Each structure stands twice: as C-alpha cells, then as structure tokens.
C-alpha cells in the first residue's frame, strides 16, 4: 500500500501524528500532499523542512490521481465523515480508499519490529527518550512521537533498520490497530470520557491492547500503578514476557531518586536529576537526566527496562539518556527574566499530570513562588474529572484558570473555566478566573514581576501567552 511512487493525501496533516506519518511516507519515496486549516502550528515548520506544503481544506484538493487518503480522526472515523469536512465527503463520494491515521500507521508497522508506548501519561516523552537512545546506540530506528523531539527538531525519524518505535494513543481504541512485539504501559488513569464512559471501559481497552502483542513478545509496565500491575499479571498468564519497573522494591527494575540540582549549562530546565536503577538485585546503575520530577525517572526506567529486555547495551543507554535534550511542551523553558522569574510550558492537561508537573517545579525551585496558569482542555474531560482538577494545584502558590480550550471533537459543554475556578477555590486560597487571553496575559505579566516559576499548562494554546 505504501510503496514508492504511491500518491497519498493527508487530511488534517498539521496534527502531530499526521505530520510524523507524512515525513515517513515522504522519505520512503511516496508522493505526499496534505491539507489543513490556515492556523499556524509548530508542525508547519516541520512540514516545510520536509518539502511538504499543506493546502487549505477544499474538495478541489481531492484530485483523480490520488491512490490513498489518510484522515485525522477529527474528520473521519468508523467509516463516516466527522463534521462537515468537504474533502472527506468528496473522498467518500468518489470511493477513494481512505484510512484513519492509526489504521495507516498499523499498516506501516507490519513491516517492522514494533515497540509501542501506551499509557495515560508519559507516552510522548518515553517514545522520544527510547527513540533517541536507540539512535545513539546504533539501532537506527524509525520513530513516531506525539511531540517535537528537540534534538531532531521533528516528531518523527526515518531509520534504515526494521525497528519502529511509536506512540500508541488509546483514544477511540486507536492503539488496537497495532500488533507490537514490545508493549510499554506507563500508567492507567481514567481519561477521554467522551469515548470511554466508565473507568472500566478505559481499562478494558488496555487489556485488549495486551491481547494484540505478538506471540513471544514483551510487556513492560510501571508496576507501582495497580492497574498496570494487573495487566502485567494478565500478560504473564498469556505466556508473554513481562518486566515491571518502578520505585517499589518488588519491581524487576527498582528505581530511586537521588536528588535534583541546578546546572546553568543545561538549556531546558537548567538542572540535573540523579537516579539509580537496580535490575533484580544486580549492580546499581546510576543515571542522570536534564529534567526534574520523579515521573521523569519513571520514564527513564521504561527505557532501561526495554533496553535490558532487548539486550541493548544498558550503560550506553544510560549515556544516551544523560544527553537527552527533551521534547516540546514538556517542562520547556520559554522565557527567563533578570529578576529570577522563569516561564515554563508544559502539556499537562490531566489532574495527575498537573500534580506531577507542579511537584517537579517545587522540587527544582524550592525558594521561588510557584504560579500556575492552566487552560482546561475539552469540556467532557473537565466535567468528568472536575473534583480531581480542583484539588490538583496544591503545590502552586497562586493559580490562574483560563476558559476551556474547545477542540475539534466538541465545541461546547456543561462546564466552563469559571466552574472549575469555583471548585478549585474550595481547596486553594489563591485561585483566579481568567475569562480571556487579555486577562491571562495580564496575570502572567504580574506573575513575572516576582521571583517566581510560572507554569503554563494545558493541551491547547496556552503557550501563546508569551508571544
């Protein structure tokens, strides 16, 4: 299907995953075209560097010579058009072969030995870490990540080996299009309530994913998470190999935090975080990361557990992790001020991610004020996890809550940023409602006049406040 010379058109090409796929198909010798909105994203630069110029949505983009169309799930899902995208309607009218993004990646992955990174949190970072480490030790992988990897200035890499490392998204059971040889499960923390109506249905999707692992494959998981531990037991019952990493002494790879220290020579968060790992009571492995937070050590643990399982050189993997320069929108320093204030951007959009990000900031900047500006993402998520969001800001000295960022999936809902602010005020003394971007920018400007670490958090466009 994806042989050299095939003409493929991507609808919604500016999406992070779609951009990654476009780069890979282009480098494999396919003729790639694509379309999207006029809005600007970081992926515009990535596409330009790959020689791909997106067009604005129009049915005229669907030409007679197109062999295959790949669509973002925002516009096509389960055999039908989502919304009023004219291109999808034209494709269906003409009977041109059309795939969703995960279906296309699933087809592509059949040609590779695949490592899939799944879980509620940390997927993008682990995919990037693992891809970087695999490249550094000479495995020459193809990588598809959900964010821009700083060292590559792109969210994808095309290698010449048969190794594919990909981020496996659980939304709408997308990851069930893959049959990996190695499955990493980072965490299971209820999300996407617009699709999974109960936590049980959410968990069941991950159980189905374990069923997709190839015979003789490996399931690697963060065993401190009870639901992940249950899945590891399930995988073992299916005669799959399992590796449990975590901070618990019962883990196959036991991790321990040795502290975080400032280092002005490191661009991203200007710190070094030391840790060590112990495989089955063996020799202690010492590691260094350029980012704060216990969750980052867990991410590194997933990489080390994978390296050990695949018989990669573990010490060289540790060296690669030491040099890993991070990804976009993951504790990314946007601006520093002469008075000591610093603005950090993070993708945190789930209560657990907010807590972990603020904990990391508190550990790195114990003497600074920690100020959070949060832009909720999706009405259904905000409504379903309202109380969890309300209690997620305990490590912040001050909080500003913006209006909900409406995605292509849903334009309105029963709750608002004001609703979340009211609930958060029941648990925190200093919470402010920021009804528009002007108020948010004013709040940010006041925050940076203090010796503060200001965290912009959310999956929308909160990072634009510094523009």
User: Does 349 carry a binding-site annotation?
Assistant: no
Query: Is 2 inside a domain boundary?
Result: no
User: Does 121 carry a binding-site annotation?
Assistant: yes
Query: Is 311 inside a domain boundary?
Result: yes
User: Does 441 carry a binding-site annotation?
Assistant: no
d(CA 135, CA 112): 16
HSE on the CB side for 430, CA within 13 Å? 13
* 306 CB neighbour count, 10 Å cutoff: 25
**Is-contact 294 359, C-beta < 8 A?**
yes
Q: Domain count for the chain, please give it.
A: 3
**What are the backbone dihedrals phi and psi of residue 115, each rounded to the nearest 5 degrees, phi first?**
-110, 115
Task: Name 350's Cβ contacts closer than 8 Å, sequence gap at least 6.
Answer: 120, 121, 189, 191, 381, 385
Last residue of a domain, one of 304, 323, 342: 323
Query: Is 20 inside a domain boundary?
Result: yes
User: Does 119 carry a binding-site annotation?
Assistant: yes
Query: Is 191 inside a domain boundary?
Result: yes
By DSSP bridging, strand 31-36 and strand 55-56 are: parallel
**Is-contact 1 132, C-beta < 8 A?**
no
Q: Residues 91, 181: one domain?
A: no
Distances, alpha carbon 176 to alpha carbons 173, 192, 422, in Å? 6, 16, 39
User: Does 377 carry a binding-site annotation?
Assistant: no
Last residue of a domain, one of 273, 305, 323: 323
CATH of the domain at 400: 3.90.190.20
Q: Residues 98, 159: one domain?
A: no
Q: What is the side-by-side order of every strand in the sheet holding 55-56?
A: 55-56, 31-36, 7-11, 68-71, 97-100
User: Does 64 carry a binding-site annotation?
Assistant: no
State the first-to-last Cα distance of the chain, in angstroms, to the nearest integer.
42
Q: Residues 147, 289: one domain?
A: yes
Query: Is 1 inside a domain boundary?
Result: no
Structure tokens at 155: 């969210």
d(CA 56, CA 59): 10
Q: Residues 170, 285: one domain?
A: yes
Q: Residues 142, 58: one domain?
A: no
d(CA 71, CA 184): 26
Q: Residues 193, 279: one domain?
A: yes
d(CA 371, CA 260): 20
Q: Residues 40, 93: one domain?
A: yes
Q: Residues 201, 77: one domain?
A: no
CATH of the domain at 188: 3.40.1190.10
Q: Residues 270, 348: one domain?
A: no
Query: Is 48 inside a domain boundary?
Result: yes
Query: Is 189 inside a domain boundary?
Result: yes
Q: Residues 194, 294: one domain?
A: yes
Q: Residues 12, 100: one domain?
A: yes
The three-state secondary structure class of 166 is: strand
User: Does 458 carry a binding-site annotation?
Assistant: no
Q: Residues 180, 292: one domain?
A: yes
CATH of the domain at 69: 3.40.50.720
Last residue of a domain, one of 323, 340, 359: 323
Query: Is 400 inside a domain boundary?
Result: yes
d(CA 185, CA 182): 10
Range of the domain at 69: 7-105
Tens-digit pLDDT string for the chain (467 aa): 899 999 999 999 999 899 999 999 999 999 999 999 998 888 898 899 899 999 999 999 999 999 999 999 989 998 888 888 999 999 999 999 999 999 999 999 999 999 999 999 999 999 999 999 999 999 999 999 988 899 998 889 999 999 999 999 999 999 999 999 999 999 999 999 999 999 999 999 999 999 999 999 999 999 999 999 999 999 999 999 999 999 999 999 999 998 887 666 545 555 788 999 999 778 889 999 998 999 999 999 999 999 999 999 999 999 999 999 988 889 999 999 999 999 999 999 999 999 999 999 999 999 999 999 999 999 999 999 999 999 999 999 999 999 999 876 777 899 999 999 999 999 999 999 999 999 999 999 999 999 999 999 999 999 999 98
């Amino acid at each position: 299907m994806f042989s050299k010379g095939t003409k493929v058109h991507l609808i919604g090409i500016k999406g992070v995953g779609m951009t990654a796929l476009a780069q890979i198909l282009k480098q494999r010798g396919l003729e790639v075209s694509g379309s999207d909105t006029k809005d600007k994203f970081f992926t515009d630069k990535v596409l330009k560097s790959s020689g791909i110029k997106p067009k604005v949505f129009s049915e005229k983009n669907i030409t007679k010579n197109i062999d295959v169309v790949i669509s973002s799930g925002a516009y096509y899902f389960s055999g039908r058009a989502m919304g009023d995208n004219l291109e999808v309607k034209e494709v269906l009218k003409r009977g041109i072969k059309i795939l969703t993004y995960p279906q296309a990646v699933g087809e592509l992955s059949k040609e590779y030995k695949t490592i899939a990174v799944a879980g509620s949190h940390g997927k993008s970072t682990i995919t990037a870490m693992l891809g970087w480490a695999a490249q550094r030790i000479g495995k020459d992988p193809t990588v598809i990540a959900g964010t821009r990897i700083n060292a590559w200035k792109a969210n994808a890499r095309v290698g010449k080996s048969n190794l594919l490392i990909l981020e496996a998204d659980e939304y709408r059971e997308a990851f069930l299009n893959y049959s990996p040889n190695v499955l990493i499960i980072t965490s299971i923390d209820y999300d996407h309530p617009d699709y999974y109506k109960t936590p049980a249905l959410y968990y069941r999707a991950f159980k189905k994913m374990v069923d997709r692992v190839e015979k003789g494959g490996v399931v690697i998981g963060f065993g401190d998470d009870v639901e992940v531990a249950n899945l590891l037991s399930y995988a073992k019952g299916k005669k799959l190999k399992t590796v449990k990493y975590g901070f618990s002494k019962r883990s196959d790879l036991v991790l321990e935090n040795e502290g975080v220290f400032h280092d002005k020579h490191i661009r991203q968060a200007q710190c070094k975080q030391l840790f060590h790992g112990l495989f089955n009571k063996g020799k202690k492995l010492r590691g260094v990361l350029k980012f704060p937070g216990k969750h980052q050590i867990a991410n590194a643990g997933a990489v080390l557990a994978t390296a050990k399982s695949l018989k990669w050189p573990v010490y060289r993997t540790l060296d690669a992790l030491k040099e890993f320069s991070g990804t976009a929108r993951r504790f990314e320093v946007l601006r520093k001020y002469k008075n000591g204030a610093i603005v950090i951007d993070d993708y945190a959009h789930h209560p657990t991610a907010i807590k972990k990000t603020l904990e990391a900031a508190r550990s790195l900047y114990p003497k600074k004020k920690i100020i959070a500006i949060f832009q909720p993402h999706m009405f259904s998520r905000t409504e379903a996890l309202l109380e969890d969001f309300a209690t997620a800001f305990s490590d912040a000295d001050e909080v500003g809550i913006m209006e909900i960022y409406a995605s292509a999936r849903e334009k309105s809902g029963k709750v608002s940023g004001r609703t979340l602010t009211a609930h958060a005020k029941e648990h925190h003394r200093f919470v402010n409602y920021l009804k528009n971007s002007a108020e948010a920018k004013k709040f940010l400007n006041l925050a940076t006049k203090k010796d503060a670490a200001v965290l912009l958090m959310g999956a929308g466009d909160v990072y634009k406040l510094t523009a």
